[in-house]
Amino acid sequence: MTEFLLLTLGMAGLWLGSEALIRGATALTDRYLLSDAAFGMLVLAVGTDLPEIFIAVDASIRSLNGENLSGIVIGSAVGSSIGQFGLVFGVAGLIGFEAMRRRFLARNAFFLLGSIAALFAFSYNGQVTRWEGAILVFFYAAYFLVLFLRRTRSPDAEAKPTSEWSLRPWIMLTAGLVLLLLAAELTVASAIGFAKLVGLSNVAVSAIIIGMGSSLPELSVSFSALLNNRGKMSAGNLLGSNVLDTLLVPGLAAVISPLAVPGEVLSIDLPLLLLVTVLIIFFLYVSRRGVRKPEAITLLGIYLGYVFVRLMGPGA
């Protein structure tokens, strides 16, 4: 019971830390009139994915000391990606996401599908080496650079350029980072204890519990954005987050300590991630319907099926 309470406290800290960091980062970027989608992919995606990054780095450092925590890293990264496309798009999609501009279909489909293919290829032999991790990090850097160079400005953005300097955003940014560091350490430690307590593997606990918990910032941002008629900012955040989760998170972790990838990740998690990614691309860019109630219910059904298989199937 104590381990579960500590795990809950750690995930709450991840959410609060992300919220503080996003508020600070948003204030610091008010001077740039980026489009909602570009802002979501460039700024919010990085901010809301800091929990996964800190968890991966912390678990990899622990692995250097003899603990095998690769399951925590790969489970939280892939589980969070599935949670964002299945759970977050599913729940927030009940309000409704508008379709995205079709001219960005090729670019976003290339990076979303390519990131999954790269992670699968490097994981196929059961391990992601340091060099392969460095390549994944390089791929993400290329993705971020492409987004930055091809970013679009929004003429109707609410943010206004300003040259005034304020200390408050920097305080919030720093406080968010510190809270994320502490919460990541608590989450990793308690997840290990909870996994042993209930008889689940590290990867199963990470894919479901940590993956769901670390998706809370995206869920919070999505509801806030949709309620303020800024759905494209939310969609951009989720798209950018998934590329980050499949490239930067396992890449950074592998650079620190090579990752051992369980076979069920290749047979269950990555194929399921590919399925929901293809569906999201189809809903947002091809069908032009966006994500409405029928699409949202479909995504939620897939996610609930994934949770069931992860709890009852191999590697549980």
DSSP string, 230-290: -HHHHHHHHHHHHHHHHHHHHHHHHHHSPEEPPHHIIIIIHHHHHHHHHHHHIIIIISS--
How confident is the model over 10-36, as a mean pLDDT? 69
Mark residue 290 as left, alpha or beta (left: phi above 0; alpha: psi -120 to 50; beta: remaining).
left
Tens digits of per-residue pLDDT, 60-110?
988 888 777 888 788 888 988 998 999 889 988 888 888 888 888 888 999
Residue 159 has pLDDT above 50, yes or no: no
First to last CA, the chain: 20
Question: Please, are residues 281 and 290 in contact by the beta-carbon 8 Å criterion?
Answer: no
Q: Specify the DSSP element, H or E, that contains 313.
A: none
Q: pLDDT value at position 164?
A: 55
Instruction: State pLDDT tens for residues 134-152.
Output: 999 999 999 999 888 876 6
Q: Which pLDDT score, from 0 to 100, does residue 248 have? A: 95
Helix axes 70-82, 270-281, angle to 10 degrees: 20
- CA distances from residue 67 to 56, 59, 60, 164, 261 in whole angstroms, order as listed: 13, 9, 9, 48, 15
Determine the distance from the C-alpha atom of residue 229 to the mean position of all C-alpha atoms in its chain, rounded to a whole number.
22
What is the pTM (predicted TM-score) of this model? 0.80
Select, from the ranges 10-19, 110-119, 140-149, the one with the highest average predicted confidence (pLDDT): 110-119
pLDDT band at 29 (very low <50, low <70, confident <90, very high): low
More confident residue, 117 or 162: 117
Q: Does pLDDT of 127 surpass 70?
A: yes
Domains of the chain are: 2-151+167-312 (1.20.1420.30)
Amino acid, res. 101: R
- Is pLDDT at 293 greater than 70 in this prediction? yes
Helix pair angle (2-28, 216-227), 10° resolution: 50
Q: What is the pLDDT of residue 165?
A: 56
Distances in whole angstroms, Cα of residue 186 to Cα of each of 7, 51, 58, 221, 303: 7, 12, 10, 24, 26
pLDDT of residue 32: 55
Residue 162 scores a pLDDT above 60: no
Query: In angstroms, rounded to a whole number, what is the distance separating the alpha carbons of residues 44 and 81?
Result: 15
